[in-house]
Each structure stands twice: as structure tokens, then as C-alpha cells.
Structure 1
């Protein structure tokens, strides 16, 4: 089974290698649970990649700063970390309530110290169209490296693999396995 979601300005296409994917920030367990809390934040997607022999739990957050760049570079990392923390809390709450059986595979992975957890921060930044491809690629790699190091430090308590991503990396074959992100019509 494949999964398709719109998260403007993107469309996400999860191929058949994904066992289950939910748009977490609109899921009833989020809406009726932790969203009522003052710490109400959520990553965009939660999904299981792989089959019965090897599964990976993914928490995926997407941000598009191409049109409106952030004024403060450091602010969005704290917001991202809060979303990851609140998502983990929300999944635990969904499990404890016993009302959201569809979240059970996610919480089983969270509670298993041997499971594979990946936290993805997908960030699109202004491309600098006036720059040469070599300069643009060098800057992108430097920003990605810095973002990855910051994320690893802030989320090390979770025991997760942390990765940053964007469409350029996806196009270079370094994206999230089985996930294709495309621009919706009328988006850059």
C-alpha cells in the first residue's frame, strides 16, 4: 500500500515500503489528546518503514522557508525539538488511553530500546538562484551539517538517528527511503 498526503506547499508520496503513515498533527489522538495541553506541538508525520524483519519508526517535520526566510536561525531548532518531545508524549498518551489502536505500532517501537527511530527535519531554504551550482551545493552541505549536529545534541536523549533533508538531497539520492516530496502546483 502507498500513502499520499498534502502538506502545502508539498505533496508527500510514501511508497509501498512504508507499512503505515499518519499525518500526526491532524490525527484524532493528537487532536483529542496533547493538543489540549499548553505544550501542544506536533511533527507533521509519523510512519513505519519496512516489514516484519526490519522496521524503522520515522517522525518527520517539514518546513519551507524559501518564500519567507526565518529571521533568527536558532529559533526553529527549539521549536522542532518541542514538536518531537510533544509528539512522543502524545503517542504515549494515545497508548495509555487505549482509544487509538492505530497508534500501537508506533508506541511499541518507542518502548522497545532495540527499535530503530529516525527523526527527520525536512527544511527548504532560499536557493540563492544567483549563485553557481557549486557554491549553492557547498552552502547547502554546510547548513545541513550544522543542522544535523545541532539536532543530534538536542535529541540525543531519545536514542534516535537524526537527519536533515530537503528536495535537493532527495534529488541527489540522499532522501528518506521510499518517500518522494514534490511541490504542489503553484508552489516553487
Structure 2
């Protein structure tokens, strides 16, 4: 059974091989470390074939000018890194309060701690004009530099790049813009 999640104007359909949590809306985050000023979270944490994934969604369509500085200054790369860091910390904090075997965070944290491969960190970035492969690669490298402690595999994706670098079992579609 696939899971469908809407994030802004994008629908994310995760196939049967995924275990997915909408982390920034999850009760353990909302009632936990989010209460501390400045704590952030990625949109999704998931397991695909037992491997942990972090997915952050940014939809800059119709907001190109407002976000241009974030993209070119390194600010967005830092924001993604902070969200990954805070997501891991908030999941560990939540698990201290409930035994790992009795909550939905246990499988994710166990896989993260035992991971012998690079942890995928995905920035799903929709813009009015899709990023060029060179721009996506440069942004991925900037995020990777901010996350050296995690040793991640960083992907900057959008619907136009999804055919070239498909994520197994994930289909992203666009919703109409509000009128």
C-alpha cells in the first residue's frame, strides 16, 4: 500500500517499499524539541529497503526573486543541514521517552545508527525554471559540505530531474496553484 502526502503544491506518493513519517508534523516532534526556539525538522524521514532517508521539500515556484539570495549565498544549504541535524536529535530525544520497540521511530533510528552506507539526503526543490544539472550538483555539494559529520549522499531533485535520477518507489506530482 502506498502512502500519499501533500506538501504545499506537491503530492508525494511513496510505494510499498517505503516506511515514511511526515516528521515535521509528527507528534513526537511537535510535542518534543520543536518547543525549543529555532529547532527545525525535515519534511519526511523514511526507510527504503531498510536504509534511512531524509527528504526536505522546497517549492519556490512563483517566489524566485524572494529566494534567489537563499540559493546563491549558501543559506539554503545550511538550512537543510540544520533540519537534518535537528531531526536526528529530536528523534533521539523522543525515543528516550518511549522505548524504541514501542514507537514508529525505532526502526528508523536503528537503521541510521547501523548504516554502513552514505545516508541519502534529498532536497526536493521546485522552481519556476528547473535547476540545471550543474546548479543542482553545486547545491548538493554545498549541502554535503554542511553535513560532513553524516557523510551523506545528497540529491537535489525536482520533477524535471526525476526521470534521470529516479528515487525508487517515489512519484511526485504537482497540484494546481491556489487562485
Alpha-carbon contact 1:91-1:107 (below 8 Å) kept:
yes
Alpha-carbon distance in structure 2 between the residues aligned to 1:9 and 1:35:
24
Alpha-carbon shift at residue 113 of structure 1 (Å) = 4.3
> Among residues 134, 138, 143, which one is paired with 1:146 in the alignment?
138
Alpha-carbon distance in structure 2 between the residues aligned to 1:150 and 1:105:
29
- Figure out how many residues of one structure are paired with residues of the other and give that number: 171
- Structure 1: unaligned runs, 5 residues or longer: 128-135
SS of alignment partner, residue 16 of structure 2: coil
Task: Report which of the two structures shows the higher radius of gyration computed on alpha carbons.
Answer: 1
List, as ranges, runs of 4+ consecutive aligned residues in structure 1 with deviation greater than 6 Å.
none
Query: What is the aligned partner in structure 2 of residue 29 from structure 1?
Result: 28
Alpha-carbon distance in structure 2 between the residues aligned to 1:176 and 1:101:
26
> Among residues 150, 155, 165, which one is paired with 1:174 in the alignment?
165
Q: 2:152 matched to 1:184?
A: no
Taking structure 2 as the reference length, the TM-score comes to: 0.88
CA RMSD of aligned residues (A): 1.8
Alpha-carbon distance in structure 2 between the residues aligned to 1:96 and 1:110:
16
Over residues 109-152 of structure 1, what are the superposed CA-to-partner deviations in whole Å (9 max), with x where a residue is unaligned? 1221425521111111221xxxxxxxx7xx61111110111111
Alpha-carbon distance in structure 1 between the residues aligned to 2:132 and 2:166:
14
> Among residues 108, 111, 130, which one is paired with 2:110 in the alignment?
108
Alpha-carbon distance in structure 2 between the residues aligned to 1:169 and 1:71:
20
Alpha-carbon contact 1:56-1:116 (below 8 Å) kept:
no
Query: What is the aligned partner in structure 2 of residue 98 from structure 1?
Result: 98
Taking structure 1 as the reference length, the TM-score comes to: 0.84
